[in-house]
Amino acid sequence: MVSAPAPGGARAVARCQALGVAPYSDMAGGLYRGYLTPAYRAAQDTLSGWMAEAGMQVSLDPAANLVGRYEGTDPAAPLLLIGSHLDSVRDGGCYDGPLGVMLGIEAVDALHRAGRRLPFAIEVIAFGDEEGSRFPAAMLTSRAVAGTLPAEALDLVDGEGVALARAGVDVARFRTAARAPGSVMAYLEAHIEQGPLLESEGLAVGTVTGIAAQLRFRVHLAGMAGHAGTTTMPLRRDALAGAAEMIVAIERIAQADASDVVATVGRIAAAPGAANVIAGSVDFTLDVRSGDGARRDRVAHAILSAMEATAGRRGLALSIEQVHDLPASPCDPALVALVDAAMVKAGQPVRRLVSGAGHDAMVMAALCPTAMVFIRCRGGISHNPAEHVEPADAEVALAVMLGFIDQLGASRGLA
C-alpha cells in the first residue's frame, strides 16, 4: 500500500487556488477559463510542469487535452486513466474539474516518490471542454478520447464568432485523440460533489454509482422589434416577454414532476437590447436532467410543447436546436465496489450517491469501466466563486484513490 504524504491533498487544493487567478483566468476579478483561451494555455503550461515533477512524460493530444504518463512494468497491459477537466464555467469556482486532475497528479507523485511502478501505466488527463462554457457543446474533448464524437460536432463557433477550427486545434485531427478500445482498463475521476449531501451527513467523501442523463437545447425566439413608446400592447410581438413566460413554464413543469428532474435556463440574450426598443429576438439555453432517461425525455417533451403553445399564442417564431444528449451513465459495479473497499481502508464510512452534475466520466463510460469519488464541498455550492474544499477532505480522497489504484491491478488479474 502506498500512502499519501501528508500534504498531497492540501497541495492539490492549493494548486487549484493558484490556477483560479490571472494568468489562468480569462476574466478580471473572478475565474473563467474557456477551452483553448490564453488562460487555458497558461494553465496547461503550469500543469505540465507539475506532471513532469511527479515523474510523468507530458504530451498534448489532438483534442488539446494535456496528458501525463507514468509507465508501468507490463507494456502490454491496458492503462488506468485518471482525469477531470481544466475548463470552468463563467465566474465559477476553482475546484470544479481541476481538483480531480491535481489529485491524479498527487497519486502518481506518491507512487513516484515511493519508487513504485505498477504492472499497468497510469495516465493523468486534463480534459479541455467539459462545461461547454465557450463553444455551444460540452464534453467535446472527452468525447474525442472516448471515440464518440461525430465529425459534424466540430463545426462550432464561440460567442465571439471564432470557429473551433481557428481557435488553436486542428479539427481534421481532433478525433484521432480517440483511444483504442481495450487500451484503457479503467477511468477514475475525483470531483467535488457540487451538492449538499456529504456535508449534511458529515462525510468527507462518497462513492458515485452513476451520473444523471442530460439534454441541452439552444432556443431562438423571433418576434418584432419596435418602438417602446408608440407600439400599443395588443400590437406587440415581444420576444422577451414570450421568453419570460416560457421560462416560468419550464420551472413549473419540472417542479410539478415532483421527482429528481431539474430544468434550467441559465443564459439569455435579448436583441437589439435597448431600454426603448421592444425585444425583436431572444436566445436562451435549456438544460434538462434526471437519473432516469425516460423521465427526463417525458418532462423535456412537455416543456417543448408548452413553449410551442406560448410561441403560437404570441405570434413568435420558435426554433429549438438540441445541442447535447447524454444518457444516464452508471459507474462500473466492480469498480464501485473497489472504491467502497478503498473508502473502508481509508477509515471512511461507505456512502454511495448518484451525480446530478455531468462529468467526463459519463462520456468515458463508452470506452471503459468508470469510477468516481466525490469530495464534500462547503454548502454544496458549485458553479459559483464561493466553491470551497477543505484540504483535509482532499487528503482523504487521495488516500481513497491510492487504495483504489493499489487494488485495481489485482482485481483485473494484473498484480
Phi and psi angles of residue 264, each rounded to the nearest 5 degrees, phi first? -140, 135
* Closest residue to ligand GLV using C-beta atoms: 358
* Contact region with Mn ion (CB under 5 A), list: 96-104, 199-207, 232-240, 407-415: 96-104
* Contact region with Mn ion (CB under 5 A), list: 37-45, 94-102, 175-183, 347-355: 94-102
Q: Radius of gyration (Cα) for the chain, nearest Å?
A: 22
Phi and psi angles of residue 131, each rounded to the nearest 5 degrees, phi first? -80, -25
The owner of cell 449534511 is 200
Q: Which amino acid is it at 183?
A: S
Beta bridge partners of 92: 31
Nearer to ligand GLV, 127 or 404 (CB): 127
**8 contact, one of Mn ion, ligand GLV, none, CB 5-8 Å limit per kind:** none
Nearer to ligand GLV, 237 or 376 (CB): 376
Least Cβ distance, residue 71 to ligand GLV (angstroms): 32
**206 contact, one of ligand GLV, Mn ion, none, CB 5-8 Å limit per kind:** none
Task: Tell me the longest C-alpha to C-alpha distance in the chain.
Answer: 79
Contact flag: residue 242 with Mn ion (CB under 5 A): no
Nearer to ligand GLV, 179 or 289 (CB): 289
Least Cβ distance, residue 84 to ligand GLV (angstroms): 11
| Pairing between β-strand 281-290 and β-strand 213-222 as defined by DSSP bridges | antiparallel
C-alpha cell at 22: 490571472
* Contact region with Mn ion (CB under 5 A), list: 52-60, 92-100, 202-210, 260-268: 92-100
Contact flag: residue 97 with Mn ion (CB under 5 A): yes
Q: Which amino acid is it at 317?
A: A
Least Cβ distance, residue 321 to ligand GLV (angstroms): 18
Contact flag: residue 26 with Mn ion (CB under 5 A): no
Nearer to ligand GLV, 358 or 369 (CB): 358
Nearest to 71 by CA among 84, 59, 60, 55: 55
User: Do you find a cis peptide bond into 7, omega within 30 degrees of 0?
Assistant: no
Q: How far is CA 166 from the centre of its chain?
A: 23
With vertex at residue 364, the alpha carbon angle to CA 377 and CA 158, rounded to the nearest 5 degrees, is 80
Nearer to Mn ion, 97 or 223 (CB): 97
**54 contact, one of Mn ion, ligand GLV, none, CB 5-8 Å limit per kind:** none
Q: At what angle do helices 391-411 and 333-345 cross, to 10 degrees?
A: 130
Contact flag: residue 223 with Mn ion (CB under 5 A): no
Least Cβ distance, residue 292 to ligand GLV (angstroms): 17
415 vs 411: CA distance, rounded Å: 8
Contact 169, 36 (CB under 8 A): yes
Contact flag: residue 387 with Mn ion (CB under 5 A): no
Size of the site for Mn ion (CB under 5 A): 2
**358 contact, one of ligand GLV, Mn ion, none, CB 5-8 Å limit per kind:** ligand GLV
**97 contact, one of ligand GLV, Mn ion, none, CB 5-8 Å limit per kind:** Mn ion
Nearer to ligand GLV, 118 or 357 (CB): 357
Contact 402, 4 (CB under 8 A): yes
Beta bridge partners of 398: none
Nearer to Mn ion, 195 or 403 (CB): 195
Contact flag: residue 393 with Mn ion (CB under 5 A): no
Nearer to Mn ion, 7 or 266 (CB): 266
- Residues in contact with ligand GLV by CB under 6 A are 131, 357-358
Number of other residues whose CB lies within 10 A of the CB of residue 333: 10
**318 contact, one of Mn ion, ligand GLV, none, CB 5-8 Å limit per kind:** none
143 vs 156: CA distance, rounded Å: 15
The sign of the dihedral angle between the CA atoms of 28, 33, 37, 43 is positive
Nearer to ligand GLV, 98 or 280 (CB): 98
The residues of the shown chain that bind Mn ion, judged by CB under 5 A, are: 96-97
